[in-house]
Amino acid sequence: MDVNVFKLCSGLKVLGYLMILLVAGIITVSYYAVVVITWGPQLLRGGVHSLSAILMVIVFHILLGLLLWSYFRVVLKDPGSVPENWRPERLEENLEGGSCINESDFRAPENLGSTWSAPAGLDRGPHVGYCNHCQNGKPPRCHHCSVCQRCVLKMDHHCVWVVNCVGARNYKFFLLFLIVYLDAVLNLAFALSLLCFIFMHASLLSSNTTSVEVYEKKGAARWKYDLGRKQNFEQVFGRKKALWFVPLFSKDDLDSIPALHGLDFPTRSDVEA
């Protein structure tokens, strides 16, 4: 009898809800320590002490607002799901144009594994994948999450802290949450570990790589998605500078940067597809 042991991973969702309570607890303790204990009493002293206290309280509340905004955005935002019966756009165009390509040329038999080579000239990346679990196509950089039991676009990892996958459509919100979360952390050891986590993701961001693509990148002479630091940054945060540190995207960015939707990604011109 075949048993899918990965279904047991769905139990991590329960742990995730506990982690949300832990995040709320840390924020509450931080608020009490910073506002009520440290700077609150300074507001009553008058003079320079009151002015500095007012400034610190205002900055803390701004950062706290950004923290909560980013956190709920990454928790509630779908990281990106593969549309039902997804096919590469070029294959769709060939089918609509009366090409002799059959539907079976796209769909892979189950015994071929989770990835397969698309018909010549039709794939947008080196391979068009197929997920046997979801019985659906897999766009480039898409991976199946054993916790969510579905394929996630440009999946980075499943984060128990947000009870959600981190993928194409909420990665920016996740990074903003990490950065602002440092403001609410009191434990030095935890803050240092979080800082290391931020540095790791900064390195991934600079090379346009996800956590699950690290080993794939090591085996490549040139990483096909590395467009240069500036463009790599824009692939996640958008081009609208005013919104870089806000968990939102402008309509222009959503219309002009396909990577934000997670179905199509530009590649280097000096790397063969």
Q: Which of 131, 142, 148, 159 is catalytic?
A: 159
**What stretches of the chain adopt beta strand conformation (E)?**
115-116, 128-131, 136-138, 143-145, 150-152, 157-159, 164-166
**Residues near 152 by beta carbon (within 8 Å), at least 6 away in sequence:** 79, 80, 81, 142, 143, 144, 145, 165, 167
Compute the distance between CA of residue 139 and CA of residue 123 in angstroms, rounded to an integer: 9
**Residues near 216 by beta carbon (within 8 Å), at least 6 away in sequence:** none
**Encoded amino acid at 75, one letter:** V
Quick check: is 151 catalytic? no
Q: Tell me the DSSP string of 173-203.
A: HHHHHHHHHGGG---HHHHHHHHHHHHHHHH
Residue 157's DSSP bridge partners are: 166
Question: For 234, phi and psi rounded to 5 degrees?
Answer: -70, -25
CB 139 within 8 A of CB 85: no
**Residues near 101 by beta carbon (within 8 Å), at least 6 away in sequence:** 91, 94, 95, 119, 122
Catalytically annotated residues: 159
